[in-house]
Amino acid sequence: MILETERLALRELNQADFAALRAILQDEQVMYAYEHAFTNREVQAWLDRQRDRYAKDGFGLWAMVEKATGEMMGQCGLTLQDWGERQVPEIGYHLRRDRWHQGFAAEAAIACREYAFRSLGMAEVFSIIRDSNLPSQRVALRCGMSLRGSFVKHYYGMDMLHYVFSVRRGTVR
Q: Looking at residue 59, what is its pLDDT?
A: 97
Whether residue 165 contacts residue 126, with contact meaning beta carbons closer than 8 Å, is answered with yes
pTM across the whole model: 0.94
Q: Looking at residue 154, what is its pLDDT?
A: 85
Q: Looking at residue 73, what is its pLDDT?
A: 97
Q: Looking at residue 173, what is its pLDDT?
A: 67
In the chain, which stretches have pLDDT less than 70? 173
Q: Looking at residue 158, what is its pLDDT?
A: 84
Q: Looking at residue 156, what is its pLDDT?
A: 77
- What CA–CA distance (Å, rounded) separates 11 from 40? 22
Helix (H) / strand (E) containing 107: helix 104-118
